[in-house]
């Protein structure tokens, strides 16, 4: 896990005036947001507003037609997911991207450097021990407790799986964590736990961007709120004092406030 002390001050991740079109569809026409280190930014918007597209731009999946992206206080050009990962940006996808038959430990390293050199099966005993230790440390740091690290991930509850996916992304991030609908598949209690986990991640110094339709819950843990409407940022304010009806009115385009 990246050393918290080495995580800097200032902008963890930001995008300014991003445009992205697909054929005739202008998915993003003027999208902006900024997450400082240690901050949770909620990204809200109606269906089709451009949230997933925006997240994919920040992840290096789509190249924007224009606009600026900043990671760790420096302007960057992201050509791939690897690019974003190298700069310290990792993502928790809505489907979690876990391998259900593999253990918690193996999942923590899935798709990352240690294992790309050799296949999972060929990893030696020493590496195994190191992987177990790193997994334990990563989970401990986020106060995540699981029945066992050696069970296949499919035997965990939905909330526990979500926690593993978050811990994995945090273990490989040094700047920002992007999350798509982290509570969508969860019951009330597990959603609360994931929200606590998101706050813990931010308190460890990462900037967190959360896309969600779960307005009340995510609003309650966000430091800032950004609302996209038809591909443009129409609200970008601190969450303090903001109510769910305020956000909904902006999401559906009834009310638009100037950016701060």
Residues at the site binding ligand ATP, with contacts judged by CB under 6 A: 22, 25, 27, 45, 47-53
**Cβ 49 to Mg ion, closest distance in Å?**
8
Surface-to-core class of residue 228, CB atoms within 10 Å of its CB (0-12 exposed, 13-18 middle, 19+ buried)? buried
Nearer to ligand ATP, 47 or 145 (CB): 47
Scanning residues 199 to 218, which ones bind Mg ion (CB under 5 A)?
none
Q: Is 8 in the site for Mg ion (CB under 5 A)?
A: no
134 binds, among Mg ion, ligand ATP, none (CB under 5 to 8 A by kind): none
* Closest by CA position to 111, among listed 91, 127, 130, 125: 91
Angle (CA) 1-186-240 rounded to 5° is 75
Give the list of residues 6+ apart from residue 84 with CB closer than 8 angstroms, or none: 58, 59, 60, 71, 78, 90, 91
45 binds, among Mg ion, ligand ATP, none (CB under 5 to 8 A by kind): ligand ATP
Phi and psi torsions of 187, nearest 5°: -75, 175
Token pair recorded at residue 126: 């020493």
32 binds, among ligand ATP, Mg ion, none (CB under 5 to 8 A by kind): none
Cα(202)–Cα(142) distance, integer angstroms: 10
Binds Mg ion (CB under 5 A): choice among 52, 134, 200, 239: 52
Q: Is 97 in the site for Mg ion (CB under 5 A)?
A: no
Give the list of residues 6+ apart from residue 252 with CB closer than 8 angstroms, or none: 46, 229
Nearer to ligand ATP, 97 or 134 (CB): 97
Token pair recorded at residue 159: 């909330």
**Cβ 125 to Mg ion, closest distance in Å?**
43
Nearer to ligand ATP, 147 or 253 (CB): 253
Nearer to ligand ATP, 23 or 124 (CB): 23
**Cβ 46 to Mg ion, closest distance in Å?**
10
Nearer to ligand ATP, 34 or 53 (CB): 53
Distance, C-alpha 221 to centroid of its chain: 14
Q: Which residues bind Mg ion (CB under 5 A)?
A: 52
């Amino acid at each position: 896990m990246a050393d918290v002390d080495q995580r800097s001050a200032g902008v963890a991740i930001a995008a300014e005036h991003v445009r992205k079109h697909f054929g005739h569809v202008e998915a993003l026409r003027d999208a902006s947001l900024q997450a400082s280190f240690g901050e949770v930014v909620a990204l809200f918007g109606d269906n089709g507003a451009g949230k997933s597209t925006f997240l994919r731009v920040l992840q290096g999946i789509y190249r924007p037609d224009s606009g600026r992206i900043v990671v760790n206080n420096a302007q960057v050009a992201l050509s791939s997911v690897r690019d974003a990962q190298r700069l310290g940006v990792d993502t928790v996808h809505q489907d979690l991207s876990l391998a259900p038959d593999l253990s918690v430990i193996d999942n923590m390293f899935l798709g990352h450097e240690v294992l790309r050199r050799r296949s999972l099966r060929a990893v030696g005993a020493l590496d195994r021990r190191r992987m177990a230790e790193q997994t334990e440390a990563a989970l401990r740091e986020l106060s995540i407790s699981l029945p066992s690290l050696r069970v296949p991930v499919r035997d965990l509850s939905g909330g526990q799986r979500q926690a593993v996916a978050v811990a994995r992304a945090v273990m490989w991030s040094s700047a920002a964590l992007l999350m798509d609908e982290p509570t969508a598949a969860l019951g009330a209690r597990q959603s609360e736990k994931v929200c606590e986990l998101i706050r813990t991640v931010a308190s460890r110094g990462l900037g967190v961007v959360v896309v969600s339709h779960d307005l009340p819950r995510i609003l309650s843990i966000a430091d800032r709120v950004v609302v996209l409407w038809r591909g443009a940022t129409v609200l970008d304010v601190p969450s303090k004092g903001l109510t769910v009806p305020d956000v909904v009115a902006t999401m559906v385009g009834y009310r638009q406030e100037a950016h701060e």
